[in-house]
Amino acid sequence: MLTVHPLPAFDDNYIWLVEQQGQAVVVDPGQAPQVSGFLADHGLTLAAALVTHRHSDHTGGV
Pick from 17, 60, 61: nearest CA to 39: 17
- pLDDT of residue 58 exceeding 80, the answer is no
C-alpha 1/C-alpha 36 separation (Å) is 22
First-to-final CA distance of the chain: 26
Is the full-model pTM beyond 0.75?
yes
More confident residue, 58 or 52: 52
- pLDDT of residue 43 exceeding 80, the answer is yes
Residue-level pLDDT at 59: 81
Per-residue pLDDT tens for 1-38?
Answer: 999 999 999 999 999 999 999 999 999 998 889 999 99
Other residues' Cβ atoms within 10 Å of the Cβ of residue 58: 19
For the chain, domain boundaries: 3-59
